[in-house]
Amino acid sequence: MNRTLQVALVVVAVLGLIGGGLWLAVARTAGQQPELVAVKVATPPVLDGEADAVWSQAREVVVPVTGGANLPNGQTTVRLKAVYSGDMVYFLMTWADSTQSLRRAPFQKQADGSWKKLADPNDKGSDANLYYEDKMAMIWNMSIKDFAQSGCFATCHAGEPGKAYGNKYTSTPSELADIWHWKSVRTQPVGQIDDQYVDSTRFDPETAREAGRKSDPRTAGGYADVPLEAGKPKWAAPGNKTAPPYWIIDSQKVALDDAMYKAGDEAASMLVAPFTGDRGDIASRAVYRNGTWTVEFARKLVTGSAFDVQFNSLSRPYYFGVAIFDNAQVRHAYQTGATRLTFQP
């Protein structure tokens, strides 16, 4: 039995949850591995979440993902294209999602005048699947020896005490992976993908709750919870507008005026600002239309960061796995095995 199938079967055995919606596609052999070919173009696409004419030059690759919460039968299909121009590489990704989920843990004014932050009653710790957001993640191999065969399973450790849905970390300190984590509420409003990475840190409830999943360094920006002050949200959107949207651009925040809200009104609980520094390397724009997310994103081929995959040789393949989150904090639909990115001369 090859390593990909061994790892996948272990994950299925441990994660026999999600209400019977978890199933496993047959693992691909290297010869059947999907290949995403980045085509060189003279003029890059406009990064606006719309597929303009330049994308017709690239071949689409189809990657099924499965095992996710909230998706019909736990599955959807990811469609990808890639092009490169100058010192940049560009990606176009679409997937079907029947619900646009942006209502991420808002504050709601109660009948007695108090404020309550809405939460998933079934969340037993970092496992929200009700008041959350749509997300997408790609994990790029940097130095994990089995990643080309196992994909994301090379970093997945399920059934460990203290976490409802397992942890991500690599097997040895010399192994790293690059995470590109698009978040429809926390990063998309500022046109970015969260640039993160995975190392070998094991889970610790006090010092490493995210185990090996880390964020690239930043100099400023990011997202944060709106704090409560005297039992009320401290900040509100301009004009004290009720949610939606379910985020507040940090530079536009105003003091919440409680008198402008009636019982049942909701207010955003997230402050967002663009990352500066290493964590803000990836630009993106997304559009949700007719039950489909379309995300365009771009990054420099070579960033020079120790935490990023470097596309510094256009003659070799680069391997990644993809995951889709439908209003889910961690219970994502995942790709079995890996996809390889190659660059057409």
Q: Domain locations in the chain?
A: 3-104+122-221+280-343
pTM for this prediction: 0.91
Q: What tokens appear for 65 in the block? A: 């993902």
**Predicted local confidence at residue 29, as pLDDT:** 38
Residue 326 · residue 315 · CB < 8 Å? no
DSSP state of 260: G
Q: How far apart are CA 216 and CA 277, in angstroms?
A: 9
* pLDDT score, position 125: 87
**CATH fold for the domain made of 3-104+122-221+280-343:** Immunoglobulin-like (2.60.40)
Q: Say if residue 15's pLDDT is above 80.
A: no
Q: Give the pLDDT confidence of 47-96 residue by residue, as tens digits.
A: 999 999 999 999 999 999 999 999 999 999 999 999 999 999 999 999 99
- The dihedral sign for the CA sequence 30, 31, 34, 36: positive
pLDDT at 160: 84
Q: Residue 76 carries which side chain, given as an amino acid letter?
A: T
Per-residue pLDDT of 115-130, as tens digits, reads 999 999 999 889 999 9
Summary mean pLDDT of the chain:
91
Q: Predicted confidence band at 18 (pLDDT cuts at 50, 70, 90)? A: very low
Q: What are phi and psi of 38, to 5 degrees?
A: -85, 120
Q: How far is CA 332 from CA 7, 137, 199, 294, in A?
A: 17, 9, 20, 18
The pLDDT score that the predictor gives to residue 25 is 32
Percent of the chain with pLDDT over 70: 91
Q: Mean pLDDT, to the nearest integer, of 281-295?
A: 98
pLDDT bracket for residue 165 (50, 70, 90): confident
User: Which residue do the tokens 């301009």 mark?
Assistant: 238
pLDDT in tens, 182-230: 999 999 999 999 999 999 999 998 999 999 999 999 999 999 999 999 9
Contact partners, residue 291, CB within 8 Å, separation at least 6: 96, 97, 98
Which pLDDT belongs to residue 236? 98
SS3 195: strand
In sequence order, the 6+-apart residues with CB closer than 8 A to the CB of 13 are: none
SS3 140: strand
pLDDT of residue 261: 98
CA nearest neighbour of 51 among 98, 99, 83:
83
Is the per-residue pLDDT at 297 higher than 90?
Answer: yes
